[in-house]
Structures are given as C-alpha cells and as structure tokens.
Amino acid sequence: MTLELEHLVQNWTVRKPVARTRGGIVATQNRVAGEVGAHVLADGGNAVDAAVATGFALAAVEPWNSGLGGIGFMLVYLARENRVHVVDFGPISPRGLDPADYPLVGGGITTRDLFTWPTVKDDRNVHGPLSIAVPGHVDGLGLALEKFGTLPFADVLQPAIALAERGIAVDWFLTLKVATMARELARYDTTRAVWLPQGFPPVTAPGAPLERLILKGLPATLRRLARSGQRDFYEGGIADDIAGDVRAMGGNLAAEDLKHYRARIVPPLEFDFRDARIALAPGLTAGPTLHGAMKALAETRLPAGGPQADAFVAYARILREAYAERLASMGES
C-alpha cells in the first residue's frame, strides 16, 4: 500500500496480489478467520467444513459483523448433482412482538443504520432489546455441517474456541469500529462494560505489543456448544440465559421462540442471465432484489464496447429502483 498525505486528506492506493489455488479458497475480511478455513481445507475438510469453521471463528475475531446472535444464508453447490441448496438461517421475529412498540417518527428515513428504514422511535428496530430477532447463526451452521460437511461439530469449533480464549487484538481497526459505535454501546450496561472500559474505546499504546480484549462469556459458550451440540443454544442452558437476559432488558424474545427455531434447507431462486445460470437466496434477502436488478439490466440496451457514461447512469438507476422496491414491498403479506 502506498500512502500520500495532502494536508488533512489521506489518499490511499491499495493493491493486493491475486490469490491462486487448485484446492479451494476462503475469502473473509478478517485474515485470521480466513486462515482457519484454509487450514480446514488443507487438512482434508470440504468447503462446508471450512465455511462453518470460519463462521464460528468470525464470532471470536470480528463480532461487529458476525456472531452467535446473528443470522444468515448459505448457498451450497453440489458438483456431482449440479444442484444448489440454500441453508436458510434467517431471522424470525419473537412471537410476543407487538408492531405498536415501533412507532414511526418524523416521516423520514434513518441515517444511523446500514439500511434506510423509515425512522422508528429511539431506533428500537436497530439496536436494543426490541431489535432482537431469534438468532439463527448456530443452528444454520450446524445444519449445513450435518447435511453437507464431513467433520464433527465439536471439531470445527476448536479454532473458534482457541481464538476466543486468546481475545481480539486491539488494533487500529478495532479502536475505530468501537469509536464509531460508542454512543450506542454506551447505552447498555453490558456493551459498555465490554467495549468501553473506563468509558473509552480500547486503545493499544503506541509502540506497545497489541493488547487483547476478551469477550468473557464467549469461550465458555463455544466450549459448551462443542460438548452439547448446537441445539443447546436453543433448548438448553444457553437458551435460558439468552431469554432471561433479553426479558430483563424489556425485550420480547422468549425461551419458546428459541426452542421452536429451526434452520431449513430450501431451493434457491434461480434464473438465466445471458449465458449463465444464477442461483440466489430466496425470501426476505437481497436475492430477489438482485434478481430484479439483473432482469432490468438484461432489458436495458447499452452501447456496444466498453461501458460508457450512459451505462453507469443506467446501472445507478436500476439499482436505485430495485432497492426502493425492496424497502417499499418486501415483507408485506
């Protein structure tokens, strides 16, 4: 990376070498988690083994993006069948959710979240006890491993356990992430205690070895899952702890919500685009939005040759319209 400074502006030119492999590849934002998956492949595991091990490792090194309390979708292509399966471990609302708890205010859209939802009072749909859906991450990764993997559940958890016990490196990126969310983290006792020690984001002193931040409950939780299996998160002691904590904060998530949660294997959303067959996650995901955008792109006449200005204008229009339709209609019954 080359770095040029011009007054108060930093201009970064980032270059990365191309990665080539014949035995599979693991792509993650956090390199440590990616190396976990790469080691699984090198030791004879298949792609799903590597993905599941990586998914749990991310909970230990990148909890602001991934974690046991999250949700997701996984697309699995089986070459022998020439078929795609989708592991759906998306969010489900608690049964006790009351829409009246989320009054719209101001008539605008929120600027404090990745998604441009209509603004809800106190951002209750974005953070806090009323924002919590039933977490599917653990059951989804467990189901993927059971159906498409080759390794025992306890084995793929071992790298994540080791990383959780070691703690997260307090580097510049962690400090930046915590600082950008400090206002929200300070609102709740638990997040404030973990992420804002002494009331400030964690910082490693200049020139000192990187400090480490331990997420105190995570190693024990991962070890318990390795012993008892994924369903303990939904029906055992972990489930009781989760439901009790959320209820104590004023949320709606109950033990019964966790008990009845099941990840699913579902067919993909498939369509042809030019000479390719594309498979996406269906349902309340970005899949239908991408499908709509690509359908509109296929119907748009663009000049021959390389993309010109008109093409980029068309791309922007198509994406804007597809996303507007998503926010206006997706989830309506």
Measured CA to CA, the distance from residue 253 to residue 129 in angstroms comes to 8
Region 256-280: mean pLDDT is: 97
Q: What is the pLDDT of residue 8?
A: 55
| Of 161, 254, 252, residue with least CA distance to 215 | 161
Amino acid 3: pLDDT: 46
Q: What are phi and psi of 10, to 5 degrees?
A: -105, 125
Q: Is pLDDT of 2 > 60?
A: no
Please write the tens of the pLDDT for every residue from 95-113: 999 999 999 998 777 777 7
- φ, ψ dihedrals at 77, nearest 5°: -100, 120
* pTM of the predicted model as reported, rounded to 2 decimal places: 0.90
What pLDDT score does 6 carry?
A: 43
Length of the chain: 333
Pairing of strands 104-109, 83-89: unpaired
Q: What are phi and psi of 277, to 5 degrees?
A: -110, 120
- Give the phi and the psi of residue 304 in degrees, each rounded to 5: -65, 160
Can you tell me the mean pLDDT for 175-190? 94
The amino acid at residue 151 is L
The predicted-structure confidence for 122-152, as pLDDT tens digits, reads as follows 989 988 999 999 999 999 999 999 999 999 9
Bridge partner list, 87: 74, 265
pLDDT tens by residue, 53-83: 999 999 999 999 999 999 999 999 999 999 9
CA dihedral 126, 129, 134, 138 (to 10 degrees): 90
Q: Percent of the chain at pLDDT above 70?
A: 96
| Residue 193: burial class (beta carbons within 10 Å; 0-12, 13-18, 19+) | exposed
By the 8 A CB rule, do 59 and 105 touch? no
- The C-alpha atoms of residue 221 and residue 143 are separated, in whole angstroms, by 18
* Mean pLDDT along residues 39-63: 97
Q: What percent of the chain has pLDDT over 90?
A: 79
- For the chain, what are the domain ranges? 1-91+138-165+215-234, 269-329
Confidence label for 10 from pLDDT (cuts 50, 70 and 90) = low
b or e along 27-59 (b: 16 or more beta carbons within 10 Å of the residue's beta carbon)? Answer: ebebebbbbbbbebbeeebebbbbbbbbbbbbb
Mean pLDDT of the chain: 92
215-224: average pLDDT: 95
